[in-house]
Amino acid sequence: MAASGNRHLVWAIWFLLALCAALLAWMSLRIDPEFERLTRVHMLDFRFSGYEPDAVRGLSAVLANNDMEQARTLLRFNYSGPDLILPLAATLLGVLVIARFAPGTVIFGRTVTPRVARLLCLLPITYGIADYAENFFILFYFPPAEPGPWLSENAPQLLPWITRTKLALATVSAILMVRFTLLRYTAPAGTHGPG
C-alpha cells in the first residue's frame, strides 16, 4: 500500500512539473513576446534584472493609450489565466518534493528531520503568496482597472519588491527541490530515511 502511495505521489510530482514547464513556456515564449511587440516593453515579472517604481508608472501610462486595447486584454488574460494557475502548481510541486525527498537526507552534515522539512515547505508556500499578491496588484492597478487612491500611490512602490521577493523565493525553492531530489537518489544506501 505504501509503495502505491509513493507511486501516486511521484506521478503527481511529474504532472505538476510538466504543468509548470508548459505554463512557463507559454507565458515566456508566446504571451510576453506578443506583449512586448505591442508595447515595446516586457511584462513586469519577465524583467529578471528587476525594475523600479518608474517602470510601473510608465507601463500604466502606455496601457492607458486608446490604441493599447489588445495589450490590456493580453495582460489581463495572462494574470487571470496562466499566471493564476502557475503559482498554485509551483507551490504544490515545491511542497510535495520537499515533503517527499527532504526528510532523512543529509545536508551540511546534518540529517533533515520531518519537522525541518515541514518548515522548509514554508518557502514555496510564501512564494505562492507573493506571486498571487503580484497578480492582485497588476490586475487592479493597470488599465482598464481604475485603482483607488491607496493602490494608485502604493502599487508602483510595492510591485518591484513583491516581484524580487517572489523570484528569490522561487529560486531558493527550486534549488532546494533539485538538491533534495539529487541527494535522495545519489546518497549511498543507508544514509537517508525510507523512500
Residue 194 domain-assigned (yes or no): no
Per-residue pLDDT of the chain (195 residues), as tens digits, is: 456 668 899 999 999 999 999 999 999 999 999 999 999 999 998 998 899 999 999 999 999 999 999 999 999 999 999 999 999 999 999 999 999 999 998 888 889 999 999 999 999 999 999 999 999 999 999 999 999 999 999 999 999 999 999 999 999 999 999 999 998 878 665 555 444
Residue 24 domain-assigned (yes or no): yes
Residue 39 domain-assigned (yes or no): yes
Distances (CA, A) of 23 to 4, 17, 78, 94, 162: 29, 10, 10, 16, 21
What are the residues whose beta carbons fall under 8 Å from the beta carbon of 35, sequence distance 6 or more? Answer: 42, 43, 71, 74, 75, 78
* The residue to which cell 530515511 is assigned: 193
How many domains is the chain partitioned into structurally? Answer: 1
Domain residue limits at 112: 2-186
45: number of CA atoms within 13 Å, CB side? 26
Query: How high is the pLDDT of residue 48?
Result: 86
Query: How high is the pLDDT of residue 184?
Result: 81
| 8 A C-beta contact, residue 61 and residue 50 | no
Give the largest CA-CA distance in the chain: 66
Residue 111 dihedral angles phi and psi, to the nearest 5°: -80, 130
Query: How high is the pLDDT of residue 195?
Result: 43
Q: Is the pTM of this model over 0.75?
A: yes
Residue 17 domain-assigned (yes or no): yes
Residue 191 domain-assigned (yes or no): no
Residue 151 domain-assigned (yes or no): yes
Residue 195 domain-assigned (yes or no): no
SS3 labels along 8-71: HHHHHHHHHHHHHHHHHHHHHHHHHHHHHHHHCCCCHHHCCCCCCHHHHHHHHHHHCCHHHHHH
